Amino acid sequence: MSYLNRFFGQEFNPTNQPVDFPLGLNSPVQPSRREPSVFVPTSAVRPSKNSSIVPSEGFRNDTYVDETTGGKIPVIMASVSQEKIFATFMKLIQRLGSVVDVVIESSHDSKSKGHVDFYREHIDMPVLTSILWQYEDLLLNDGCTGIAVLNPSIPQEIQFEEHKLLICYGSPLEPYEFILDGAGVQENPDIRFVTESEHVHSSSAKYAQKFDQLRTDLGLDGSADQNTDRTNEGFGDNYGDSYGDSAGGLL
């Protein structure tokens, strides 16, 4: 997303002291002994016929690299089964604090190459979560809608992006690993995600309309950032191409 650069550009410092967390959440996560759960994808994105990826549940640690500054940011990427991914996202964003910023992105316009981002600062977490629960179906099943919740004062960010991956940026990340582990999502360094091969997005006019309603409910009617210079990381999307962040990428 285009706002990542301004969010982390001057804020991120790998030597920052960790924020205080309740007892146990800042300690290393013990490996789960549970059997891997059956992965059920959402309706938003599916591998194409030529894809080499078999979607599965799990998470891995990565690094986001800013191409301009060379700064590196720790990242967790997670694929979570559809019956628990939204509840897991809502638990993750609770870690960001009582007042946060929110960004929603749209690629519903097939004639526009890239995404449109709508940014709102300083929204109370209870207000945000109340609104988001009303749009669970949109956020879960629309392949043209993504959302990020962030706290620049930490700085950390949680994305529930349009491919329905959960992505956590910042440091420390142990509390987010703890939440994923609690949801039965196990670490797998070798996991591959649907974005890493050919895939198809699914959307509809109904979801485009719901996105506009979400914008209104979040107070985002007049705040848009069009980003049309993104690195292509998707293939064969049924509404056009899928685009990554031109300012950096994951190692």
Three-state DSSP state, 128 = helix
- Measured at the alpha carbon of residue 241, what is the angle toward residues 235 and 242, in degrees to the nearest 5? 85
| Confidence at 114, pLDDT banded by 50, 70, 90 | low
For the chain, the structural domain boundaries read: 3-12+40-250
Q: What is the pLDDT of residues 27-78, one digit of tens each?
A: 344 444 556 568 898 998 888 888 888 889 999 999 988 888 888 999 999 9
Instruction: Please list, in sequence order, all residues whose beta carbon lies within 8 angstroms of the beta carbon of residue 70, skipping any fewer than 6 positions away.
Output: none
Sign of CA dihedral 161, 163, 166, 172: negative
pLDDT tens, residue by residue, 218-240: 998 654 554 433 323 332 333 33
The reported pTM is: 0.77
